Chains A and B, each alone.
Chain A
C-alpha cells in the first residue's frame, strides 16, 4: 500500500541527496589548485552520471536482488525488472532511485584520492568496476539482506556502505596512483575556500535528506534522524575548529571539515541514538578526523582531499559509536552504554570487515586499471592541470 505522505517525503529527500554529489565536487574543487577546479567538480558529475546508468542496469539488482550466499544480490532485477510503481509505503522504483543517489555520491567522495592526476577515461573504467565490485556488495551486506544485516549490524544511512567504503577506497587508490607532482615541496594551498564552503553547505543541507530519508517514511524516527544529524554536524564543526585553534587560526576550512566529519559519524547511528549522544559522536568525530588528517600529512600520504581522514575514519567511528550509543527507546536496540556488549561487538566486526574489503578490493582494482590502461595522466598534462588537459577548459583567461 503506497502512502502518499511517505512517498512525497522520500522524493524530496532523494532530490536533496542528489545535490550532495555536486556539493562534494564543489567542496573538493575549492581545495585543489586553480588549474584543476573544473576537473574536480566534473569528476563528481561524471561519477553521478556513470552510476546512474550502472544502477538501473544491474547495480540495484546486485545490491538488492535475491541474496546469494550473504555476499551479493542476484540479477533478478536486471534492467529494473520487477521494480515497479507499487510497494510497501513507497513505490519500489522510488526506493531504487533513493539508493541510486547514495551510490553516485559514494563514487564522487572517492575522487579525493585521485585529485589533480587521474585520466578521465581511466576514472570511468575504474569507477564502473569500483561501484560494481565494492559499493554494490557493501550495500547488499548492510541493506540488501547480506551477512551484516543477518548478523544484526546497524547501519541506518550508510556509515559502512558510503563512508568507510569511499574513505578507505580513496586511500587505496591514492597509494596506487601516487603523489601529485611536487607534493610535500610545492605549495598546494586551496584555491577557492568560498567554493569549498558552498560545497560544504550543500552537503550539510543534503544530509538531512540522506539521514532522515533513510527511514523511508515521514515519521518520528525521520524527525529524530534530522535532529541528530544537525546536532552531530554542529558539534563536529565546533570541535574541529577548537582543535585547529590550538594549533593556529580557527580556519573556516577546518570548521566545515569538522561539520562533515560529524555528519559522517552520525550517519550509521541516525535512527538509533538521541541528540545528547549525537553531541558526543560529533565532538569525537571532529577530534579524531582532525587527528587522522594530521597523521596523513605527517606520513606524507597524498590522499589529497581527506576522504580517508573524514569519511573513512569518521565512518569507522560512526559504525562503532552506533554500537555504543544506540538506545531501544529510539531504534529498538540497546548498545554498550545500555549494557548490550553483543551489539557493540557486531558493529566492530561489521566496520572492520567493510574497511578491509573496501581497501583490499579497491587496491587491486586500481592496480589492474593502472597496469592496463594507466590511471594517471602524463607529467605535462598534470603540470598544466586537468582542466585544460582533460576537458580543454579553464577558469583562467
Chain B
C-alpha cells in the first residue's frame, strides 16, 4: 500500500475530490496548510516596493491506496489540480507498513 500526499491549490479541491470519487477513490483526509515552493511564494509590486507573499494557502490531500491504484490517483490529481503555472503543488508517495481501521480489524 502507498500513501499519497498531494499539496494543491485550495480552489481545485472540489474538482479533484469529485473526480476521485467518480473513479471510486472515496477515502481521503484533507488539511488546510500554508507553504511555499522553490519560487518562494508570490512577489507583488507596489510602485517600486516589493511585497513578498511568502506562505500561500494550500490544501493537503492524504490518501492511502493499493499499489495498483497509485498511478490512476496521481493522474486524476494532476489532471484536475493543474493550471500550468507556478504554485500548482507537489505530490509525494510513501510506503505504508500497515493499515487498520479503528473500529474494525
Q: State whether B15 touches A186 (Cβ < 8 A).
A: yes
CB-defined contacts of B15 to chain A, threshold 8 Å: 185-187
* In the bound complex, CA of A378 to CA of B51 (Å): 14
Q: State whether B34 touches A397 (Cβ < 8 A).
A: yes
CB-defined contacts of A392 to chain B, threshold 8 Å: 51
CB-defined contacts of A384 to chain B, threshold 8 Å: 42, 44, 53, 56
Residue A35 interfacial (CB < 8 Å) = yes
* In the bound complex, CA of A146 to CA of B6 (Å): 62
Residue B37 interfacial (CB < 8 Å) = no
Over the window 25-65 of chain B, the binary record of Cβ atoms lying under 8 Å from chain A Cβ atoms (1 yes, 0 no) is: 00000000010000000101000000101011100000000
Given that A186-B11, A186-B15 are known contacts, is A35 also in contact with B44, CB under 8 Å in the complex?
A: no
Residue B14 interfacial (CB < 8 Å) = yes
Q: Considering the complex, which residues of chain A in the window 29-64 have a beta carbon less than 8 Å from any beta carbon of chain B? A: 33-35
Q: State whether A383 touches B34 (Cβ < 8 A).
A: no
Residue A188 interfacial (CB < 8 Å) = yes
Given that A384-B53, A392-B51, A396-B34 are known contacts, is A186 also in contact with B12, CB under 8 Å in the complex?
A: yes
CB-defined contacts of B51 to chain A, threshold 8 Å: 388, 392
Given that A388-B53, A396-B34 are known contacts, is A383 also in contact with B42, CB under 8 Å in the complex?
A: yes
Interface residues of A (CB under 8 A from B): 33-35, 182, 185-188, 378, 380-381, 383-384, 388-389, 392, 396-397
> What are 24 A-to-B residue pairs whose CB atoms are below 8 Å?
A33-B11, A35-B57, A182-B11, A185-B15, A186-B11, A186-B12, A186-B15, A187-B10, A187-B11, A187-B13, A187-B14, A187-B15, A188-B11, A380-B42, A380-B44, A383-B42, A383-B87, A384-B42, A384-B44, A384-B53, A384-B56, A388-B51, A396-B34, A397-B55
